[in-house]
Copies of this chain bind each other. A is one copy, B any other.
Amino acid sequence: MYRTKTCGELRLENVNETVTLAGWVQRVRKMGGMSFVDLRDRYGITQLAFNQEVDAALCEQANHLGREYVIQVTGKVAERYSKNANMPTGDIEIIVEKLQVLNQSLVPPFTIEDETDGGDDLRMKYRFLDLRRNCVRSNLELRHKMTIEVRRYLDGKGFLEVETPVLIKSTPEGARDFVVPSRMNPGQFYALPQSPQTFKQLLMVSGFDRYFQIVKCFRDEDLRADRQPEFTQIDCEMSFVEQEDVLNLFEGMAKHLFKTIRGMEIKEAFPRMTWADAMKYYGSDKPDIRFGMKFVELMDILKGYGFGVFDNAAYIGGICAKGAAPYTRKQLDQLTEYVKRPQIGAKGMVYARVEADGTVKSSVDKFYTQDVLQKMKEAFAAEPGDLILILSGDDANKTRKQLCELRLEMGNQLGLRNKDEFACLWVVDFPLFEWSEEDQRFYAMHHPFTSPKPEDIPLLDTDPGAVRANAYDMVINGVEVGGGSIRIHDSQLQHKMFELLGFTPEKAESQFGFLMNAFKYGAPPHGGLAYGLDRWVSLFAGLDSIRDCIAFPKNNAGRDVMIDAPDELDQAQLDELHLQVNLKK
């Protein structure tokens, strides 16, 4: 061992002990005849002291240490003259007697401090240095702690962690698969799993009863800010359960994490909201309910007064921002610009202030009498000082989504989205299908194995779009942290689902035949849920992106810029795989 103690553990009670430490040079300071080195390791920082008068050569050696040099020192623990109350080791320092440079370092391309001067691209290229920063490493320490607690909880509930294969079979339904050519089976390919969905269902058929796995999943998607081609799921499945059992168990896990990781005891049950209500009142299937501002529909109140925009609208709705009446014209113009950005796409915004005397002053006063505006005020239960913001459009769902963005932005502006406050929610009763206008067909909203609600099964034949699923999402602060469903365990019903999803019997057989076959040998009722580990960690770490809770993330082009992957292959490798790259196509 190169050390007897770490840089984080020495205290006043260690004074006069002779210790050996090893770590990285954070900084070197000369003060009069003394030189001080801050020595850093994962556990903390310890101050090293060198006295010019006592050992000039040693002190000189210290003065020549560069940032990020790796050194080993032996010396005596001493009480500091000027203590640093901000550091756990701030009461002591090491009077160094021996110093050895274990490795030198070039000057790092950015400072290894919480507040660094390195831009994103540079930090990603030198991720091994970025990870030295406490703020980055602490995200990964949090991640480690969370997986320990997840396993503790699930193991305690009788779940078995079972590893499912990574080299599986491509199922083009849904997102794109990453594929892996097989050398031993020329012309054939494995696929990397988008989730272990079919395998966990097979494990239920096998009687494993309670399964989980913290597992890498893969999706070849065009990447957005919060997506990575490889991501980690806490994947779970249970047998002989109904929806209520799954919700209870995984709400319990969420509460366990809040308690053990964030020190928060949540006693109440998580509120539940139907998907229909979430869309109606928040314009989103993952509403952030840290704050109110529920949508109020205004079709009945505002239509028919000659204001063409509203008169022709398929939807008119608004939110009431408490106390925001003092918003200036400039602020309101900026909000209008915000909703008109192409990513949101609203045509415009109407606003109305409730004045101190209760009267309403709006941007469309010429069309509406105070009488009508008062009715609107009542619909919002708005009070003096409140600001009402209204959007309209010819597509109700699109307009709701725009209003959702406006609501979130107002939440931000009014400071209603505090990262240390958490609002958990179950969204339930998702539709089973989603209609694609483009493809003129139904798609499974979750996946083709999701069970319809038993009472809605007759609708499969008459009105598939109206069928609700036994599917549920857990949403925290507007982030979908997990979701799942009760599965179909009846092969007849599963066949019907494939039919409705436009699978030919041959395609269903070739892609999911093994699962259909398994269902013929005694499949138990089962259901489950998958949590997104990356999202949980970034939520608890207060991060804006999942990227900073992943040790070696990829960029938006799917590249690891540190190792420069992906890369071209040797021709010999391609030949062995019977492949030819064809860039012309």
Contact = CB atoms under 8 A, between A and B. Distances in A.
Interface string A544-585: 000000111010011110111111111011011111111101
A169 B564 contact: yes
Contacts of A230: 165-167
A550 to B, nearest CB: 7
A160 B184 contact: no
A551 B103 contact: no
B583 A580 contact: no
A140 interface: yes
Interface string A176-220: 111111111111111110000011001101111110000010101
A551 B179 contact: no
Nearest to A521: B105
A148 interface: yes
Contacts of A18: none
A188 B568 contact: yes
A108 interface: yes
Contact of A180 (B22, B104, B178, B576): B178
Contact of A106 (B148, B521, B566): B521
A565 to B, nearest CB: 4
Q: How many copies does the complex hold?
A: 2
A183 B176 contact: yes
A560 B585 CA distance: 32
A161 interface: yes
A65 to B, nearest CB: 11
Contact of A1 (B137, B210, B245, B518): B245
Given A551-B163, A573-B172, A524 B40 contact: no
A361 interface: no
18 contacts: A1-B242, A3-B240, A24-B524, A70-B523, A102-B489, A103-B490, A132-B206, A144-B162, A162-B551, A165-B551, A167-B558, A168-B563, A170-B573, A176-B183, A185-B566, A188-B567, A189-B567, A580-B580
A562 to B, nearest CB: 6
Contacts of A160: 140-141, 144
A222 B245 CA distance: 46
Nearest to A168: B565
A129 interface: yes
A131 interface: yes
A559 B185 contact: yes
A340 B185 CA distance: 34
A110 to B, nearest CB: 11
Interface of A: 1-3, 22-24, 40-43, 68-70, 72, 102-106, 108, 126-129, 131-132, 137, 140-141, 143-144, 147-148, 151, 155, 160-170, 172, 176-192, 198-199, 202-203, 205-210, 216, 218, 220, 222, 229-230, 232, 240-242, 245, 489-490, 510, 513-514, 518-525, 550-552, 554, 557-560, 562-570, 572-573, 575-583, 585
Contacts of A521: 68, 105-106, 108, 126, 128-129
Most buried by B among A181, A216, A241: A181
Contacts of A206: 128-129, 131-132, 137
B103 A524 contact: yes
Given A132-B206, A165-B552, A105 B520 contact: yes
Given A1-B242, A40-B207, A163-B216, 10 more contacts: A103-B489, A129-B521, A132-B206, A143-B163, A148-B155, A168-B560, A179-B569, A180-B180, A184-B222, A187-B583
A522 B104 contact: yes
A165 to B, nearest CB: 5
A209 B129 CA distance: 14
B578 A581 contact: yes
A482 B317 CA distance: 64
A1 B103 contact: no
A161 B179 contact: no
Given A128-B205, A131-B203, A206-B129, A1 B220 contact: no
Contacts of A176: 183, 573, 576
B70 A524 contact: yes
A76 to B, nearest CB: 20
Given A551-B203, A577-B179, A68 B522 contact: yes
Contacts of A22: 240, 524
B558 A182 contact: yes
Most buried by B among A104, A190, A513, A550: A190
Top 10 A-B pairs, shortest CB-CB distance: A105-B522, A131-B206, A169-B565, A188-B566, A2-B240, A182-B566, A68-B522, A42-B209, A580-B580, A144-B160
